[in-house]
Structure 1
Amino acid sequence: MKKPYIPFRLPLEDIININEFINELLEANKLIAIYEVLLSKSKLDPNLLLAPITLKEAIQSTRIEGTQITLDDMLEYGVDETNSTVDIREVLNYSRALSEGENLIKRLPISSRVIKELHRILLEGDVRGNSRNPGEFRAIQNFIGPPGCTIQTASFIPPEPQLVPEYMSNLEKYINEPTDNLNDIVRIAIIHAQFETIHPFLDGNGRIGRILVPLYLYDKGVISSPNFFVSESLEKDKFKYYKLLNDIRVEYSDDTKELAIQRWNEWIKFFINATIIQSKKNIKLIEDIDNLYNNTVNKSRELINSNKLIDIIKIMFKKPIFIKKSILECVDIPSSTLGVYLNRLEEAHIIYSDGRVRNKKYYFYDLINILRQQ
């Protein structure tokens, strides 16, 4: 029978060879810096601009775990919250955990305490895994493998449960008091892999591990808010993602040192490339949304002369599927006046509606299509 794995302790002395991925690392840091500049210069409030990016992250991270939710499903749910499903609740929990993580690390270090609270939120309510000790490290042995596998046929058996607090303490110290000289992007690649290897919870480890990526980069000042995500890139190559993570789990000895060096550096290079891919997507997304915003404002001003117009358009960018109530809750404008404005926007093919008399839904397809393509 396979034995539970004994992880490396951090830092990874003499394992990481930065020359293996130095060009990729330089490119990743450059692109993240460009992304941050574009965010700061956008005419849209960064919170509005990041809302769809954050939603897509929650969707992609839960899809890696097997949910079938789509962007359109979540946008529709944002208008009508009566048709909740397990998949939708899991996406909402992920978004809440990410938001709470940002609040917590403004006053606390990234620690087991914070990680446990994020896990509690992630598995709160009627979702899969809600009976598997939310917010608590596992007290029993778990294992990883394809559906239906047993511990004998598992592809990976994490460390024994009594060792989890010790390994998490080592990880926490590395997060907050690193003694190596590695770049923060390299460090978060190591942190993510180590967290997934420890697998401290009975369920939700993958999602918590991916939430740690933007939280760590935000905590270290690499990004201005926890808004840089890699789940979409990882989801597209998820079997490679799983394989490379599993490959780093070698028994460390003098005989296997070269193999460990090769596999760890291959994993880090893959992770950095995922950040490059995502950076390029985010940069294009911001540019496309900025251009759409400018065009929408210019076209709408030809139709509507109102100091409320910009506020209405901003709501459309935050909620590209909406009803009148969505705007009335945020903009001080008579309902009848808003109805006239929305009719004009619809006649000009800026927005489209489902044609209903009551609770009419409006669709800002130009933005929806940009989000779908990313």
Structure 2
Amino acid sequence: MHSLPPLEQLDAGRFDTPAILKKLASASRQLAELKGIAAAIPNQDILINTLGLQEAKASSEIENIITTHDELFKDDVLPEAFANPAAKEVLRYRQALRIGFDLVRSSGLITSNQIVEIQSELERNNAGFRKLPGTALKDGAGRTVYTPPQDPAEIVALMRGLERFINEPDLFAVDPLIKMALIHHQFESIHPFYDGNGRTGRIVNVLYLVKEGLLDSPVLYLSSYIMRNKADYYRLLQTVRTENRWEEWVLYLLEAVQQTAAQTIGTINAIKAALADYKQRIRAGYKFYSQDLINNLFMHPYTKIEFIQRDLQLSRLTATKYLDALAEGGFVRKQKVGRSNYYVNLALTAILQGDGA
């Protein structure tokens, strides 16, 4: 079993290498640009809802929970009509991300209890930290490659130590992006839960960026890079444990931040352009135009009459009339399932399906 000393015992100077400092500068620049561009969207819920789903999809895919965008969007709009277990798991991830975001925003902290709450939402159980021995991480051939701490008291103590490391900046004075990489590794190595460790840890990544003020909302979908470079992710997690090779691991996550920040900027700019286009054309052509209507269309890649009724305070008949008119105008496509209809935002779904997440 691998011992897990507190992260603050590391030599902070080992992260001052030319390669890390160079990559840190470019990742920080991209992230700052993303923060500014995201802030320009007046309704942040649009981004949290849509980009949160992109992150949920990619992070779940790392754990071989595979869904298409269409399956996800359908399950989101008509859960009773589409019984897709994988899609429901991904939607729970987005909900766990939202819960975590609300907790961090209200407390300014990331605590062990909050992490338990996030994992509980993901896994739909209240098992909490592991209390029974027997957890081991295996490779594709079934060989044990890593045995995390087994003693329940040690797991609790390690998580308390990680909580201090996350929330006490003076404990280890390095850049927050470097610190995020260290936190993620320590969390995955503690492996505190029976299930959902990887996905919970990846939620903590983006919440830490929010906590540190590097993002205002959890819009960076870091998991898309990890999914594309999955073998390296697991290899580098392991080489830190076996060879104490931190530099490659830190560089990997800095590269992930840089690439996914650039990707997210592109997605947000495309959403912003589509929003402006729909707003201009609907305002010019339809008397029922309202900002609440635009918000609804971009909050839900697939929307339905009930969403419009709720958000615009309309009767069912009026909401149906509005959506059918927008379908005739080519803004949405009407789809029928049984006795229900849903409406596909053509511009938004094209953006979300085409950005590689």
Task: Report the TM-score when normalising by structure 1.
Answer: 0.86
Residue in 2 aligned with 1:121?
Answer: 121
Residue in 2 aligned with 1:264?
Answer: 246
Change (3 A) 1:99 1:49: closer
Residue in 2 aligned with 1:253?
Answer: none
Q: Which whole-Å CA distance do the structure 2 matches of 1:244 and 1:356 have between them?
A: 46
Deviation track 1:36-76 (CA, whole Å, cap 9, x = no partner) reads 1112222x411113210011111211111111222211110
What's the secondary structure of 2:144's corresponding residue? coil
Residue in 1 aligned with 2:21?
Answer: 22
Tell me how far 1:355 sits from its aligned partner.
6.0
What's the secondary structure of 1:69's corresponding residue? coil
Change (3 A) 1:347 1:243: same
Selected match of 1:228 from 220, 223, 227: 220
Tell me how far 1:366 sits from its aligned partner.
1.3
Question: Does the CA-based 8 Å contact 1:304-1:341 persist in structure 2?
Answer: no
Amino acid at match of 1:160: Q
Residue in 1 aligned with 2:285?
Answer: 303
Question: Does the CA-based 8 Å contact 2:52-2:218 persist in structure 1?
Answer: no
Matches within 5 A, 1:1-374: 4-11=1-8, 12-13=10-11, 14-42=13-41, 44-82=42-80, 83-105=82-104, 106-107=106-107, 109-124=109-124, 130=125, 134-146=127-139, 149=142, 153-162=143-152, 163-178=154-169, 179-250=171-242, 260=244, 263-306=245-288, 308-354=289-335, 358-374=339-355
Instruction: Give the unaligned 5+ runs of structure 2.
Output: none
Question: Does the CA-based 8 Å contact 2:278-2:331 persist in structure 1?
Answer: yes
Amino acid at match of 1:79: V
Q: Which whole-Å CA distance do the structure 2 matches of 1:296 and 1:48 have between them?
A: 14
Q: Which whole-Å CA distance do the structure 1 matches of 2:337 and 2:201 have between them?
A: 43
Deviation track 1:214-233 (CA, whole Å, cap 9, x = no partner) reads 11111122211233331111
Question: Does the CA-based 8 Å contact 1:28-1:276 persist in structure 2?
Answer: yes
What's the secondary structure of 2:278's corresponding residue? helix
Q: Which whole-Å CA distance do the structure 2 matches of 1:318 and 1:35 have between them?
A: 19
Q: Which whole-Å CA distance do the structure 2 matches of 1:357 and 1:176 have between them?
A: 51
Change (3 A) 1:135 1:85: farther
Higher mean C-alpha displacement, 175-184 vs 49-58: 175-184
Change (3 A) 1:332 1:159: closer
Deviation track 1:111-150 (CA, whole Å, cap 9, x = no partner) reads 22222222222221xxxxx5xx62223431311113562x
Q: Which whole-Å CA distance do the structure 2 matches of 1:46 and 1:103 have between them?
A: 13
Q: Which whole-Å CA distance do the structure 1 matches of 2:321 and 2:194 have between them?
A: 54
Q: Which whole-Å CA distance do the structure 1 matches of 2:21 and 2:129 have between them?
A: 38
The number of equivalent residue pairs is: 349
What's the secondary structure of 1:248's corresponding residue? helix
Q: Which whole-Å CA distance do the structure 2 matches of 1:357 and 1:69 have between them?
A: 22
Considering only CA atoms, is the larger Rg found in Structure 1 or Structure 2? Answer: 1
Tell me how far 1:165 sits from its aligned partner.
2.4
Task: Decide which structure has greater helix share.
Answer: 2
Q: Which whole-Å CA distance do the structure 1 matches of 2:338 and 2:72 have between them?
A: 23
Question: Does the CA-based 8 Å contact 1:322-1:363 persist in structure 2?
Answer: yes
Tell me how far 1:77 sits from its aligned partner.
1.1
Deviation track 1:156-193 (CA, whole Å, cap 9, x = no partner) reads 22233253223222222211224332100100110001
Change (3 A) 1:144 1:340: same
Question: Does the CA-based 8 Å contact 1:311-1:331 persist in structure 2?
Answer: yes
What's the secondary structure of 1:117's corresponding residue? helix
Tell me how far 1:297 sits from its aligned partner.
1.5
Tell me how far 1:205 sits from its aligned partner.
0.8
Change (3 A) 1:16 1:359: same
Report the identity percentage: 27
Task: Report the TM-score when normalising by structure 2.
Answer: 0.90
Question: Does the CA-based 8 Å contact 1:119-1:134 persist in structure 2?
Answer: no
Deviation track 1:221-248 (CA, whole Å, cap 9, x = no partner) reads 2211233331111111111111111110
Change (3 A) 1:16 1:356: closer
Question: Does the CA-based 8 Å contact 1:58-1:94 persist in structure 2?
Answer: yes
Question: Does the CA-based 8 Å contact 1:213-1:229 persist in structure 2?
Answer: no
Deviation track 1:178-211 (CA, whole Å, cap 9, x = no partner) reads 4332100100110001111111122111011111
Amino acid at match of 1:197: S
Tell me how far 1:108 sits from its aligned partner.
6.8
Higher mean C-alpha displacement, 227-236 vs 202-211: 227-236
